[in-house]
Amino acid sequence: MLKKITIKNGLIAQLSLMSLILLIVSVIGINSIQESSRALQAINQIQGEELGSLSNSFTATLSARTEAALAIHQLEIGLIDESLQTAKQAEESLALSQKEMARFVSAVSERGEGQELATNIQKSYKNYVDKGVIPMLTAIKAGYADEYYEVLEKSITDISKAFNNDVATFRSYALNAGHLQIDKANSAAKIKLAIIVAAGIITLISAVLAWFALKYIILQPLEQSIHQLEYIADGDLTHNINSEGNTELARLAKALQTMQQSLVVSVSNVRDVGGQIGIGSRELAAGNNHLAERTEESASSLEQTAASMEQLTSTVKMNAENSDQANRLAMSVSDIASKGSKVVSHVVDKMQAITTSSRRISDIIAVIDGIAFQTNILALNAAVEAARAGEQGRGFAVVAGEVRNLAQRSAQSAKELKT
């Protein structure tokens, strides 16, 4: 199964899985942050804005009542100015209380929850201020201590108790709402934490599986390819490689197998060509040896021809010397003939014989000269033919035959010259 998965598709699948898990974890993380932010905003809205404003209003109202009690005490002991000043401070505290109460009502209206409790608080607060705190401050500023105590004894206790109860109820509601938001956030966090842990486990498992797949698909075939290249580098062309599958490395293994087979064919061809070259080299060496032998034979024949030519040249020189001597004798005879008329007839007879011999000698000398000329030409041709050594010295054999014929003719002429 894995052998059919290409490296490209495997990497795409692994990266897609990792990206999907990362996307899921990121979405969960972002959602958790958003929910936590909303929970914190809700808690801040309830316990910060709403409950804070209500607490400030409640505290300011208590401050106004405390300052009113101090002002009535100052009035009773005759500190009129101080009493009025303290009453003014009580009015400022009451104004702050009313301002914070307005913030509380506005905050509850924006959130849209706790409207009924806020309405009850608003009613009890208005009743508390209008029927309790304001009449008490009015009595103090007018200097009527009896009216102050009348309000304090008849109405302030009940209406303040109702307001306090409504405030306590809303405080409990705000605290419970905060805890509810916290519990909700914790529950969502636990669920998302479980999802993240599961995603982490899936990622770990996929990473382990990816490692084994990577080892099976990439590392093992790659190591086999490296070993195959090492075998080829060492000259071992008999080792086969597993090239099954359709992955990139499987195709690489097939290419290596094809290359190895091509190398085997190439090495076989080189071996055959080397054998043929060896046979040709041996034949060439034998031909060179045979040519050397024929060359030596031709050189030996040429030396013999040269020796014959030297001998022939010596014979020609001797014939020339004999001719010169004959001429000298003829001249001497002519001189003697001219001087002795008495022996002219006898000398004439001898001279005719000598003249005939001289003619024959001249003819022989001419023949010898022609032979010498032709012998020189044939000797030159023999030297050229020997140098070329074409067609294994056939031309040289012809030249050698001609040289022998001329040598025989020279010998015959020499014999005739001697006679």
Model confidence pLDDT, tens digit, residues 260-299: 678 778 767 767 766 776 676 676 567 656 655 765 665 5
Are residue 214 and residue 302 in the same domain, yes or no? no
pLDDT at 252 over 80: no
**Per-residue confidence (pLDDT) for residue 92, from 0 to 100:** 92
Question: CA 283, CA 301: separation in Å to the nearest integer?
Answer: 27
- Cβ atoms of 158 and 128 closer than 8 Å: no
**Per-residue confidence (pLDDT) for residue 336, from 0 to 100:** 55
Question: CA 12, CA 16: separation in Å to the nearest integer?
Answer: 6
Question: CA 109, CA 252: separation in Å to the nearest integer?
Answer: 74
| % of the chain with per-residue pLDDT over 90 | 5
Q: Mean pLDDT of all residues in the chain?
A: 75
Q: Which residues contact 100 (CB under 8 A, 6 or more apart)?
A: 53, 54, 56, 57, 60
Torsion on CA atoms 279, 281, 286, 289, rounded to nearest 10 = -170
pLDDT, average across residues 362-373: 67
Tell me whether residue 159 is in a domain: yes
Are residue 205 and residue 348 in the same domain, yes or no? no
The better pLDDT of the pair 352, 404 is held by 352
pLDDT, average across residues 84-111: 87
Provide the domain limits for residue 342.
Answer: 298-418
**pLDDT tens by residue, 51-87:** 888 889 889 888 888 988 888 898 888 888 998 999 8
Are residue 319 and residue 191 in the same domain, yes or no? no
The better pLDDT of the pair 42, 119 is held by 119
**Per-residue confidence (pLDDT) for residue 36, from 0 to 100:** 61
Q: Which residue has the tokens 């924006």?
A: 110
Tell me whether residue 363 is in a domain: yes
In the chain, the number of structural domains is: 2
Out of 23-37, 57-71, 267-281, 306-320, the most confident range is 57-71
Q: Which of 171, 176, 143 is nearest to 76 (CA)?
A: 143
Are residue 182 and residue 303 in the same domain, yes or no? no
Are residue 84 and residue 199 in the same domain, yes or no? yes
What CATH number did the domain enclosing 93 receive? 1.20.120.30
**Per-residue confidence (pLDDT) for residue 349, from 0 to 100:** 75
pLDDT at 1 over 90: no
Domain boundary among 163, 197, 223: 223
Are residue 215 and residue 106 in the same domain, yes or no? yes
pLDDT, average across residues 147-173: 85
- Using CB atoms within 10 Å of the CB of residue 307, give its burial: 0 to 12 exposed, 13 to 18 middle, 19+ buried: exposed
Are residue 217 and residue 125 in the same domain, yes or no? yes
| One-character DSSP codes across 248-273 | HHHHHHHHHHHHHHHHHHHHHHHHHH
The DSSP output letter for 48 is I
Tell me whether residue 274 is in a domain: no
Worst-scoring range by mean pLDDT, 18-22, 151-155, 341-345? Answer: 341-345
Tell me whether residue 293 is in a domain: no
pLDDT at 202 over 60: yes
Q: Which of 209, 204, 199, 211 is nearest to 23 (CA)?
A: 199
Question: CA 390, CA 283: separation in Å to the nearest integer?
Answer: 19
Secondary structure element (H or E) that encloses residue 33, with its range: helix 7-43
Worst-scoring range by mean pLDDT, 55-64, 225-234, 330-339? Answer: 330-339
Domain boundary among 223, 238, 267: 223
pLDDT, average across residues 179-190: 83
Domain boundary among 223, 244, 276: 223
The better pLDDT of the pair 229, 325 is held by 229
